[in-house]
């Protein structure tokens, strides 16, 4: 049926094209074309394509075209949507961190880490890099920051922000809950900011952090004191200090009211060192 329809279509097209005789293409010694045949390539047979095959291909193309257009639209909308959300998240991170700078006392935390240009520092539980990005400037291009976290998405944003800010001295490690996979004796200082309370097995993490520190290296832990209303995202400084001592650390200093805004949560800071 389809084949007949295509043949009929071709017959009607034939009349539109001039015959070889009409345009004088027939050679003097060759027999004239019979019946004013068309020079239409299908009939000349240079690359003979069967009309049925042509029609089948056209049918497939007609069938696929809307699906391909739809796929392209989905891709453009999907990629655009993801890019838009990523930009919104980056803007929100920048806004939250700018506000946090006004109360988190980042200058004093950096001071406690006792860093010098060229040092290597670990931001353990880095999240999207609030501190890793600051530490990158402190240790400079001769030094390095190792950012460890469990969450790939947070680390993806850290990677993106480090790239956008041209900070090439940040190395990222995806840790396991009980093992940060840090190289041995690779760090001069380690920061654990707002993360200790999340640790499933703090003693095991302290062992790994001690192994990653060079002798004399600093460990700075900052977290929130439990209150009557809120204990979940908090850590008791007495328990943390006891754990540090058991792990063989020397306690250099402890500030139980490192941050104490009136009517708000209290943060403590403990500075320890590896003997
Ligand atoms: C509350 S966030 C703080 C992030 C960052 N330090 C800050 O102050 O913005 C705690 C982070 O610790 C990470 N974390 C929890 N347990 C961890 C572990 N065992 N090893 C590595 N990261 C961990 C979480 O995935 C989360 O990103």
Does the pLDDT value for residue 15 go beyond 80? Answer: no
| Mean pLDDT across 107-125 | 98
Q: How do residues 255-264 score in pLDDT, each as one tens digit?
A: 999 999 888 8
C-alpha 55 to ligand 1 mean position (Å): 62
Q: How do residues 50-93 score in pLDDT, each as one tens digit?
A: 788 888 898 888 889 999 999 999 999 999 999 999 999 999 99
Say which residues have a Cβ less than 8 Å from residue 106's Cβ, sequence separation at least 6.
Answer: 131, 134
Q: Is 106 close to ligand 1, i.e. is its CB under 6 Å away?
A: no
What stretches of the chain adopt beta strand conformation (E)? Answer: 120-124, 144-149, 170-174, 187-193, 213-224, 250-259, 267-273
Q: How do residues 181-201 score in pLDDT, each as one tens digit?
A: 999 999 999 999 999 999 999
C-alpha 192 to ligand 1 mean position (Å): 8
Per-chain mean pLDDT for the chain: 87
151: how many CB neighbours lie within 10 A of its CB?
Answer: 15
| Mean pLDDT across 195-216 | 97
DSSP 156: H
For the full predicted model, state whether its pTM sits above 0.95: no
Q: Is 180 close to ligand 1, i.e. is its CB under 6 Å away?
A: yes
Atom of ligand 1 nearest to the CA of 177: 19
CB 251 within 8 A of CB 270: yes
Domains and CATH numbers, the chain: 2-70 (no CATH), 104-273 (3.40.50.150)
Percent share of the chain, pLDDT over 90: 72
Does the pLDDT value for residue 275 go beyond 50? Answer: yes
């Amino acid at each position: 049926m389809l084949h007949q329809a295509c043949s009929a279509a071709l017959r009607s097209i034939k009349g539109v094209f001039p015959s070889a005789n009409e345009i004088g293409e027939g050679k003097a010694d060759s027999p004239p074309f019979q019946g004013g045949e068309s020079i239409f390539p299908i009939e000349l047979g240079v690359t003979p394509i069967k009309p049925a095959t042509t029609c089948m291909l056209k049918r497939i193309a007609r069938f696929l075209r809307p699906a391909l257009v739809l796929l392209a639209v989905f891709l453009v909308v999907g990629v655009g949507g993801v890019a838009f959300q990523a930009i919104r998240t980056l803007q929100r991170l920048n806004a939250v961190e700018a506000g946090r700078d006004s109360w988190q006392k980042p200058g004093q935390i950096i001071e406690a880490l006792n860093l010098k240009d060229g040092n290597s520092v670990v931001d353990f539980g880095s999240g999207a890099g609030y501190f890793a990005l600051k530490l990158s400037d402190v240790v400079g291009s001769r030094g390095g920051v190792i950012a460890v976290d469990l969450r790939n998405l947070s680390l993806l944003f850290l990677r993106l922000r480090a790239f956008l800010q041209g900070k090439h001295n940040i190395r990222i490690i995806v840790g396991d809950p009980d093992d940060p996979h840090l190289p041995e004796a690779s760090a001069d200082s380690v920061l654990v900011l707002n993360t200790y309370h999340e640790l499933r097995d703090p003693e095991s993490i302290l062992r790994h952090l001690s192994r990653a520190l060079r002798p004399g290296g600093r460990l700075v832990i900052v977290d929130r004191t439990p209150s009557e209303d809120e204990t979940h995202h908090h850590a008791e400084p007495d328990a943390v200090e006891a754990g540090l001592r058991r792990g063989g650390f020397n306690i250099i200093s402890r500030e139980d009211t490192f941050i104490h805004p009136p009517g708000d949560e209290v943060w403590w800071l403990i500075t320890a060192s590896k003997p």
